Every structure is written in C-alpha cells, then in structure tokens.
Chains A and B, each alone.
Chain A
Amino acid sequence: MSDIDTQRRNFLKTSVGAAAVLIAPGFMLFDIAHGKPQGANNKVRWGMLIDTAKCKPGCNDCVTACNKENGLSGGTAATDSQWIRKIELKDISSGREVSLPMMCQHCENPPCVDVCPTNASFKRADGIVLVDKHRCIGCRYCMMACPYKARSFVHEPLHDQNPDVPRGRGTVESCTLCVHRIDQGGKPACAEACPNNVILFGDLNDADSEIAKKLRSLSSVQIRADLHLNPGVRYQGI
C-alpha cells in the first residue's frame, strides 16, 4: 500500500513541477513581444466600415496616424509609400463632392494573392491580406493586379524602422490593418485617430459587433463590387 502511495506522490510532484516549468516562461518577458499562442483563425473576419458622410475634405488625420504608426516617411512623391490616402471625389454629373480614405481593402478573393509567384502576398486566416517580406522578390505583379492601387514598392534602403513593422528596400508593402496592434487586441491606428468616427473597425463575422450591426441595418457598398472580390472594407455614402 505504501509503495503505491509513494509512487503516486512522486508522479504528482514531477508532473506539477514539469507543468510549472512549462508555464513559467510565458509569464516572463511579457512586455517585449506580446505573445499570441493560439494564432489567427477563420472564425473571425476583420473589416472596416467607412462613413464617408462624416469624412471631412482636407482632413488627413488617418494618414498622419498611419505614417507615424508604421514608420512611413509621409512624403507624397511618386516613389513614396502611401498605405492609406485621402481621395476627393466629385460626381461628374451632379457635382456632389465626397471625401474618403482608401487603403488595402483586404479582399476575400484578393487578386494580389492570386498573382504573387512566391506566395509572399497572402491572406491570413482572419482575413487580413499581408505581404510576407521574407518571400517577396519585388516583382511588383501584385501592384499591377490590385484594383485599388493599394500597394507601394519600397524604392530605397530604409533605416530605423518601427520594430513592430518591418519594411525594407525592394519589397512591396501595403496597409496591414495594423496587424501588430490587432494581435494585441487593439485597433488600427487610422480608426483610432479619426476625429470624426469615420472608420469603424471590427469583426464582420461577429453578429453582435457594432460593425456587423451597422452593415445589417444601413446601406453600404464595396468599391469595384463588379470584380466580385468581397473586400472587408465597406463604404457608406457613395
């Protein structure tokens, strides 16, 4: 009887000890690179709803915030990267003016992913379309394929990048939906910075999320819906 008791005690001691050793590292070094052990999954689909009626012409806060967050230069020369831009529209027949931000639309059927020869351009399980800079060879085919001109090519060597946002010469880049923020439970810098609540970010698959409720009740469109790409970014008021 005592033999079995000792063995069981030893077993419990060892297994609890082993479990503690396994779990302990997860509690250390937490502040540096925020961990997300379970990864992205397709139950979630991140998207944005843009209310163009509230978007003010001349306001560039979303662009400035994106540039600051991601380490972009903010320049607007033909070779400068722009992940988000403000577009001023004027209806040719009626004269009505609209202002809106345009960025990667994070399509469900992204043409950029279809054409990328190395799978550098890919769609993560939760719907975010990204460029894997480890694989990008800089062929720019995705830039030709994108219907929204969302992508930029890095034309010169970069220095002092944001440690959370790696970007480098010779690769193609675009809006990441601030994936480094989303993975910590945050939201994109542009959505946070907009003073007029134009950009609403959320989970399209969550029926109770604010964005899903709005999409159910109010009219919205996808840009270039004729291409059947099913983008995750929708627009109201165009």
Chain B
Amino acid sequence: MKRLASLLLCLCVAPVWAGDSAGTPKLDIGRGGQCVEDTQWMRKNHMHMLKHQRDEALRKGIRDEKISLKNCIECHASTKDDSVIAREDSFCVGCHKYEAVKLDCFECHSGKRKSAWLQQRNAK
C-alpha cells in the first residue's frame, strides 16, 4: 500500500519536471515595449478584457481604442510580416498553440497590422 502510494506520488511529480524542460514558447512580440497592462496580468486576463471590450464596442458602440484588438495587433504584430498569426512563433499563435487553446478570433478578425493592411490596399 505504501509502495503504491509512493509510486503514484512520483508519477504526479514527474510532469512538473517535464514542464520545465519543455520551456515556455518563443514569442515574436512585435514592437513590444510598454503594454496596456503588465505581462502577468495580461496573461491571466486578456481574454476577459477582450470579451468585455468586444461587446461594449460592437453592441453599444463604446469604442475604447486602448484595449481594442486592433490596438493589440498594432503593437504585437511581428515587424517582419506584420501579423500576429502567420508563423509558429507569432504573438498569438505561439502561446495559444503551447497551451492548446483554440484561437477563434482570426476566423473573422484580420491578424494584420492595420497600417500595413492600408499600405497593401492602396498599393493595389
């Protein structure tokens, strides 16, 4: 019984080590710099913030540019390809793939920096 218990305990501990060795994902944070909130707060709350903001903006017309998705993309889109979703280490894709949380936003939303998109359209 004791042996079984200690075996189970070892099995529980092992994944913690695995997590450490796999490491956190490499992220291309784009322009980076001072974010709207601090990093740890953002990691925990960006989804709630975006969800609240989207209803305010769309349903009530209250557009808070600071916490809008477009604004996130403006800073965090890669400086190489102007996108938050184009590559494995793009800003949104990197963590979401690591955490295995499906990204639904970009079915509809453009992942491209708006200034880059405007340039591209005017060039056409």
Contact B59 A122, beta carbon cutoff 8 Å = yes
- The number of residue pairs between A and B whose CB atoms lie closer than 8 Å in the complex comes to 87
Q: Which of B56, B61, B63, B108 contacts A33 (CB 8 A)?
A: B63
Given A134-B58, A163-B110, CB of A30 within 8 Å of CB of B65: yes
Indicate whether A108 reaches chain B with its CB closer than 8 angstroms: no
In chain B, residues 30-80, which have Cβ atoms closer than 8 Å to a Cβ of chain A? 54-56, 58-66, 68, 70-71, 73-74
Report the bound CA distance from A98 to B61 in whole Å: 36
Report the bound CA distance from A166 to B110 in whole Å: 7
Given A162-B117, A163-B109, A163-B112, CB of A33 within 8 Å of CB of B62: no
Report the bound CA distance from A166 to B73 in whole Å: 14
Q: Which of A123-131, A141-149, A201-209 contacts B (4 or more CB under 8 A)?
A: A123-131
Chain B residues whose CB sits within 8 angstroms of the CB of A32 once the complex forms: 65, 68, 70-71, 74, 114
Q: Which of A29, A132, A157, A160 contacts B107 (CB 8 A)?
A: A157
Number of interface residues of B (CB under 8 A): 25
Given A124-B59, A126-B61, CB of A33 within 8 Å of CB of B110: no
Chain B residues whose CB sits within 8 angstroms of the CB of A157 once the complex forms: 107
Contact B74 A171, beta carbon cutoff 8 Å = no
- Chain B, Cβ-Cβ closest to A173: B108
Given A133-B108, A163-B73, A167-B108, CB of A35 within 8 Å of CB of B63: yes
Contact A34 B107, beta carbon cutoff 8 Å = no
- Chain A, Cβ-Cβ closest to B73: A163
Indicate whether A36 reaches chain B with its CB closer than 8 angstroms: yes
Contact A163 B58, beta carbon cutoff 8 Å = no
- Interface range on chain A (Cβ under 8 Å from partner): 35 or more
Q: Residues 19-43 of chain A: 1 if any B CB is under 8 Å from the residue's CB, otherwise 0?
A: 0000001101110111111111000
Contact A161 B65, beta carbon cutoff 8 Å = no
Indicate whether A114 reaches chain B with its CB closer than 8 angstroms: no
Q: Residues 160-178 of chain A: 1 if any B CB is under 8 Å from the residue's CB, otherwise 0?
A: 1111101111110000000
Given A161-B108, A163-B117, CB of A33 within 8 Å of CB of B68: yes
Contact A40 B108, beta carbon cutoff 8 Å = no
Report the bound CA distance from A30 to B64 in whole Å: 10
- Chain A, Cβ-Cβ closest to B64: A35
Contact A25 B66, beta carbon cutoff 8 Å = yes
Chain B residues whose CB sits within 8 angstroms of the CB of A88 once the complex forms: none
Cβ of B73 to closest chain A Cβ, rounded Å: 7
B71, B74, B107 — most chain A CB neighbours (10 Å) = B107
Indicate whether A97 reaches chain B with its CB closer than 8 angstroms: no
Contact A40 B68, beta carbon cutoff 8 Å = no
Cβ of B85 to closest chain A Cβ, rounded Å: 10
Known A29-B74, A134-B58; 19 more pairs at CB < 8 Å:
A30-B65, A32-B70, A33-B71, A36-B61, A36-B63, A37-B62, A39-B56, A39-B61, A39-B62, A124-B60, A132-B58, A157-B107, A162-B117, A162-B121, A163-B109, A163-B112, A163-B117, A164-B114, A168-B109
Give 7 CB contacts A-B under 8 Å: A32-B65, A32-B71, A37-B64, A40-B61, A126-B61, A163-B114, A183-B61
